[in-house]
Amino acid sequence: MVLSHRLGEWAGHAPVLEEEVALANIALDLLGQARVLLSLAGDEDELAYLREERAFRNVQLVEQPNGDFAHTIARQLYFSTYQELLYERLARGGGPFAPLAAKAVKEVAYHRDHAEHWTLRLGDGTAESHERMRVALESLWRFTGELFEPVEGCEVEWDTLHTAWLARLTSVLERATLAVPEGPRRGAWAAGAGRQGVHTESFGRMLAEMQHLHRSHPGATW
Amino acid sequence: MTTMAADAGAYEAVFDAALAADERIEPRDWMPDAYRASLVRQMAQHAHSEIIGMQPEANWITRAPSLRRKAILMAKVQDEAGHGLYLYSAAETLGTSRDELLDKLHTGRQKYSSIFNYPTLTWADVGAIGWLVDGAAITNQVPLCRCSYGPYARAMVRICKEESFHQRQGYELLLALSKGTEAQHAMAQDAVDRWWWPSLMMFGPPDDASAHSAQSMAWKIKRHSNDELRQRFVDICVPQAESLGLTLPDPDLRWNEERGHHDFGAIDWNEFHEVLRGNGPCNAQRISQRRRAHEEGAWVREAAAAYAAKHGEEQS
């Protein structure tokens, strides 16, 4: 839901019309997945609009501001690669999320494909796009460790998921003439923090915008 | 139709005969330069309107009050980008290019619908745009499905289907507000009060002051006059407003038994011309956002082109 919201901020601002369509399409898929998940837990709107920042359990990666197009693509590459591998495993695992994961994996495969194609174009495009893509990958790197912290209720082998993610990422970045960033990504705040309700500063502002109208009319239906 | 005729006069005769027989003109057919120019102007303006029209609605995506409404609004804005894409492609069959048309939009040499120079100030505006603005667009565009130029007519068939869907969603949004709390009802009424007259202006100047109308009708690009379509729209909206439980902001609006139509008050043509001249509430903001998106995206398009050149990939 949070990543969908961020992608929704691109509407009317994308670099080409085709990307207006693509980014909105991805945002819609993610919102659809979020609505199914939230409905499993309770009332979707109550959960989306009436929880405060500390009660949100999303990873910090998805709440990161859009930045330039390269930042959006880097965030999308890290996350959709992870999502595809995770959903494949959840779909096979037969647990409570298997039906949702089986449907969503087709959507996120498309998101991952889109992110990879743009990573190649930007990485192996012009000197400027290469540099912007490199900076974006570096600056978001420290939010990737959290993706592989075990989540309660999710029976997944997190270490092998991580190995598969890194292998996929390495092969794409090599083809894009880029390198896998170095540096810490399991620091005290970045690892597991979002899952514990500890977020980055821009997140509260995002929620203020998202929740304002709903909160101004308590009990109303829309 | 064939293009095998021997001289310009013969070409023109074939073109006229095709129009008279209600046949479609296709991209490879001969056509008068003025017909081509007029179509490029109209189709470009139509495409630009879809693209600029994303802004007032996208303004509410991040604040939509429920996840369901947010999904509907995102899908709608995505459809509009898609409509822009079809229409630029259709215009390209006339020998222009999307880049050239966008450049004309960015430099103010081509227009977009004046309606998108009004601001969306509350959530209800999203509903009013769906019901009134999309409603007016459909009234204008359904006859274009029979327009004499094939690619335009075919694009309109697809677009009109999606637009009618949006229009129903807008109506349904307003209905939910109108039947909601007192504050929601007031929000809906305020939005209709602000969007009603600008929606009537979407049909263009009155028939006796419309520069392109007569020629467009002779070419069967247009099938009905501005005033005819405006009247049709008013007649459709009055009962819909009643079932919404909302009023239309026109004290002169009443049924005329003799004409079998609703009479309605005078449009403020001065405001219309001011907006067209660039002095509406959001003209500067809309164009500068569009230009900024284009300029800030330049490095992305350059990267895609450089990558395509290196790898022989189809450029996207």
Of B62, B173, B301, the CB nearest to A210: B62
Which residue is associated with the tokens 């994308």?
A14
> In sequence order, what are the residues at sequence separation of 6 or more whose Cβ sits closer than 8 angstroms to the Cβ of residue B202?
B113, B114, B115, B133, B136, B137, B140
- C-alpha distances in angstroms, A31 versus A66, A98, B148, B260? 17, 18, 41, 48
Q: Are A16 and B300 in contact (CB under 8 A)?
A: yes
Q: What is the pTM of this model?
A: 0.95
Distance CA A118, CA A73 (A): 7
DSSP A93: H
For B:235-294, CB contacts with A below 8 A are 289, 292-294
Residue A86: in which H helix or E strand, if any? helix A69-93
Amino acid at B242: E
Give me the pLDDT at residue A94, please.
83
Q: Are B80 and B54 in contact (CB under 8 A)?
A: yes
CB proximity A31 to B under 8 Å: yes
| Beta-carbon-side half-sphere exposure of residue B68 (alpha carbons within 13 Å) | 11
Token pair for B225: 């006059």
Give me the pLDDT at residue B5, please.
46
Residue A193's pLDDT band (cuts 50, 70, 90): confident
Instruction: Report whether pLDDT(A155) > 50.
Output: yes
Q: Tens digit of pLDDT for each residue in A45-59?
A: 999 999 999 999 999
Q: Are A17 and B101 in contact (CB under 8 A)?
A: no
Token pair for B248: 């239309």
Which of A63-67, A149-153, B142-146 has the weakest average pLDDT? A149-153
pLDDT tens digit at each of 316 positions of chain B: 545 546 778 999 999 999 999 999 999 999 999 999 999 999 999 999 999 999 999 999 999 999 999 999 999 999 999 999 999 999 999 999 999 999 999 999 999 999 999 999 999 999 999 999 999 999 999 999 999 999 999 999 999 999 999 999 999 999 999 999 999 999 999 999 999 999 999 999 999 988 888 899 999 999 999 999 999 999 999 999 999 999 999 999 999 999 999 999 999 999 999 999 999 999 999 999 999 999 999 999 999 999 999 998 654 4
Q: Are A106 and A165 in contact (CB under 8 A)?
A: no
DSSP B278: I
* Cβ contact, residue pair B296, A126, below 8 Å: no
Instruction: Report whether pLDDT(A169) > 50.
Output: yes
For A:126-185, CB contacts with B below 8 A are 126, 128-129, 132
Give me the pLDDT at residue A47, please.
98
Angle at A82 between CA A79 and CA A88, to 5 degrees: 135
Altogether, the residues listed in chain B come to a count of 316
B88 CB neighbours in chain A (<8 A) are: 17
- What residues form DSSP beta bridges with B262? B255
In total, the C-beta contacts within 8 angstroms joining chain A to chain B are: 145
Which residue is associated with the tokens 């102007």?
B41
Distance CA B188, CA B299 (A): 42
Amino acid at A23: L
> In sequence order, what are the residues at sequence separation of 6 or more whose Cβ sits closer than 8 angstroms to the Cβ of residue A200?
A60, A63, A64
Distance CA A181, CA A141 (A): 7
Instruction: Report whether pLDDT(A190) > 80.
Output: no
Which residue is associated with the tokens 């009660």?
A55
Whole-complex ipTM: 0.96
Give me the pLDDT at residue A153, please.
80
Tell me what the mean pLDDT of segment A6-25 comes to.
97
* Nearest one of B53, B71, B170 to B123, comparing CA atoms: B170
> In sequence order, what are the residues at sequence separation of 6 or more whose Cβ sits closer than 8 angstroms to the Cβ of residue B38?
B212, B215, B216, B219, B221
* Nearest one of A28, A24, A1, A2 to A11, comparing CA atoms: A24
* Cβ contact, residue pair B293, A25, below 8 Å: no
User: Residue B141 — φ and ψ, nearest 5°?
Assistant: -95, -25
List of E strands, chain B = 254-256, 261-263
Token pair for B117: 């120079």
The minimum CA-CA distance between A131 and chain B, rounded to whole Å, is 11
Strands B261-263 and B254-256, by their bridges, are: antiparallel
